[in-house]
A and B are shown apart, each in its own frame.
Chain A
Amino acid sequence: MKVIEIKNLHKIYHDTEVEVKAVNGVNLEFEEGEFSAIVGPSGSGKTTLLNVIGGLDAPSSGSVIIDGTDIGTLSSREMIDFRLHNIGFVFQAYNLIPVLTARENAEFIMQLQKKSRAERDARIAELFTAIGIQGKEDIRPNRLSGGQQQRVAVARALASKPKFILADEPTANLDSKSTTNLLDIMRKLNEEENVTFIFSTHDQRVIDRAKRVIVLDDGKVTKDTKTEQ
């Protein structure tokens, strides 16, 4: 089932006199359950593409259709609501709310969705078991390791049961062991719960675990390979 459809997408930045084509005519489709990595050198347009797919940035032209909705037609208020219910984000710097505990961080998005206490409790228990940080629920982010914080960020992204997760360089700040753990967890969620993951990365360990690798160069897709994994 097609989750994301990108048609002739352009994103151009006008930097004083220079015109920067960060995304230059990208056409892509993502199916449900994909575990895809968008790779490419710095400045190739990976993060910009992810931001446009996530509705954080507006395209200059072209369209992004998520589950049948052209997100370019949504107002800013509708876009916020759309993101809340359809897209999960994992950021490079974890970006957890420091004054909330691990559990409160993960359930925050469900509170925004007005989910009941019982629903939240069940989902948090399920997620914290899946990401392997049971017992750390009441600890604030500053007392968790980088790997643990990123796992909480994954739990937060999954808590709202989004259609897909966009992860921008999720392993960039993690050591080797934490990266392996995190990738294991994400692959497990992908395989067992059919969660769709789209990464932007230059981390070879992520690329090695991806089921599909999309290479971006100067804003253009130069290679799109499905692996046998």
Chain B
Amino acid sequence: MKQNNHTILKISWRNIWRNRLRSSIIILAVTVGIFGGLVSTGIMKGMVMGLINNSLENQTSHIQIHNKQFVENNEVGFLMTQTDKLLTDISRDPEVKSACERTKTFGMASTASKAAGVMVNGIDPEKEKTVTGIWKKLIKDKGTYFESNKRNRIVISEKLAKKLNAKIKSKIVITFQDYDGNLTGASFKVEGIYRTQNSMFDGQNVFVRKTDLDKLLDMPPHTAHEIAILLKNYQHTETEVTHIKKIVPDYLVQGWPEIDPYLQVSASMVDFMLYIFMLIILIALGFAIVNTMLMVILERTKELGMIMAIGMNKFKVFKMIFYETTLLAIIGTFVGIVISAVFTLYFGRHGIDISIVGQGFEALGYSTVMKPYLELADYFQVLAMVIITGLIASIFPTIRALKMKPVEAIRD
């Protein structure tokens, strides 16, 4: 059986190279198709992964805990209490890398000339550093990340600084409702200016010390509106949500896919796109392969008639044509995968700058430096799809071949 297979495979392989030009054209077509499909998917996937990473790193983290009513109404009064104890309990979980608490309130930021609505995030700068990466996004020579110990310092985005006409050391007055519902406010001095790749986030978020904000809001001690958790492995989000729910049964525990379903949908969508892209490409290539194989069958009528006459059964004839068809597709796929992998690895590291044409991307949270990203599984999926295409594409030529009567084929 093995021996038979080896011989049939050998014949199929050598048959491919009988007409080098024709086979090369088909292989090239498959290579270009696979490269096109994989690279476009890689670029889309890279952009979405960038979006997810940016969002998780700067904004969402992996898990957030809130008072359920705060999520619904965003009112300062809906607090979580004994957050110091909660943070200690959560930090004991071996899957948790770090956690921090935040006070959050909507407010109006204004300078002498301009005003804008903002989300004021009261943070513990040192703890926040272990969970989010805003401190890494500070623009060079544009201040520091709460290095000064002075009160009422604020870190704002470059976008907001432009909007408010503010610079380092500018004063920004922020007004908001306190814990009791009274309108209050304070003047903050700009200490640092940051820029993430998500301009929507940048336009809305400012950062102040939690101690300063708590005092202004008149918050009770050991309270917060939000606890953000960074896990050691983001793929364990779902199981950790279940686990943390047991630690804090009174509060709402949400993983990042629930907090930002758009991220989850984008990730699933891009995987789905890989299938759609490859399916369209492979259908087109499948037709080209079928056409080539039909020509091959026509050219080899006599030869096929002879091998059937001397005793090669239909299944072996099918195998021979299937191997030839699939090998044609697999050679092209292999070359396509290698080129795509090199492209993806190189540009995944160095990035493709599309800032000239892609400024609108930033407004949607995407980076203007595209870094294609493909997983090993993506390559295997494509390979499996190609083998299935080979199988399907070989059916029609095989039917044509098997319909031949050896006696007529030999006479031709």
List residues of chain A with CB within 8 A of the CB of B314.
77, 80
| Contact of A213 with B by CB under 8 A | no
Q: Which of A81, A85, A91, A104 contacts B410 (CB 8 A)?
A: A91
Question: Among B191-199, B220-228, B304-312, B351-359, which stretch is in contact with chain A?
Answer: B304-312
| Contact of B338 with A by CB under 8 A | no
| Contact of B1 with A by CB under 8 A | yes
- Per DSSP, are chain B's interface residues mostly helix, strand or loop, or mixed? helix
Q: Which of A77, A83, A98, A99 contacts B310 (CB 8 A)?
A: A83
A83 near B309 with CB under 8 A, answer yes
Known: A100-B11, A114-B1. A84 touches B311 (CB 8 A): yes
B313 near A77 with CB under 8 A, answer yes
Interface string of A181-197 (1 = CB under 8 A from B): 00000000000000000
List residues of chain B with CB within 8 A of the CB of A89.
306, 309-310
| Contact of A111 with B by CB under 8 A | yes
A56 near B4 with CB under 8 A, answer no
| Contact of B69 with A by CB under 8 A | no
A84 near B4 with CB under 8 A, answer no
Q: Which of A81, A91, A100 contacts B313 (CB 8 A)?
A: A81
List residues of chain B with CB within 8 A of the CB of A99.
11, 14-15, 18
List residues of chain B with CB within 8 A of the CB of A114.
1, 3-4
Known: A99-B15, A99-B18, A111-B7. A56 touches B310 (CB 8 A): no
Interface string of B1-34 (1 = CB under 8 A from A): 1011001001100110010000000000000000
What is the CB-to-nearest-CB distance from A131 to chain B, in angstroms, rounded to a whole number? 17
List residues of chain A with CB within 8 A of the CB of B186.
none
How many angstroms from the CA of A83 to the CA of B316 in the assembled complex? 15
Q: Which of B3, B302, B308, B410 contacts A80 (CB 8 A)?
A: B308
**Chain A stretch 80-95: residues in CB contact (< 8 A) with chain B:** 80-81, 83-85, 89, 91, 93, 95
| Contact of B406 with A by CB under 8 A | yes
List residues of chain B with CB within 8 A of the CB of A156.
310
How many angstroms from the CA of A84 to the CA of B309 in the assembled complex? 8
| Contact of A125 with B by CB under 8 A | no
Q: Among B1, B309, B316, B405, which residue has the most Cβ atoms of chain A within 10 A?
A: B309
What is the CB-to-nearest-CB distance from A103 to chain B, in angstroms, rounded to a whole number? 12
What is the CB-to-nearest-CB distance from B377 to chain A, in angstroms, rounded to a whole number? 36
| Contact of B84 with A by CB under 8 A | no
**Chain B stretch 276-333: residues in CB contact (< 8 A) with chain A:** 302-303, 306-314, 316
Closest to B302 in A: A95
List residues of chain B with CB within 8 A of the CB of A102.
none
Closest 5 CB pairs of A and B: A84-B311, A99-B14, A95-B306, A56-B407, A57-B407
* A–B complex contacts, Cβ < 8 Å, 15 sampled: A56-B405, A83-B310, A84-B311, A89-B310, A97-B306, A97-B307, A98-B18, A99-B18, A104-B10, A109-B311, A111-B7, A112-B4, A112-B316, A114-B1, A160-B311
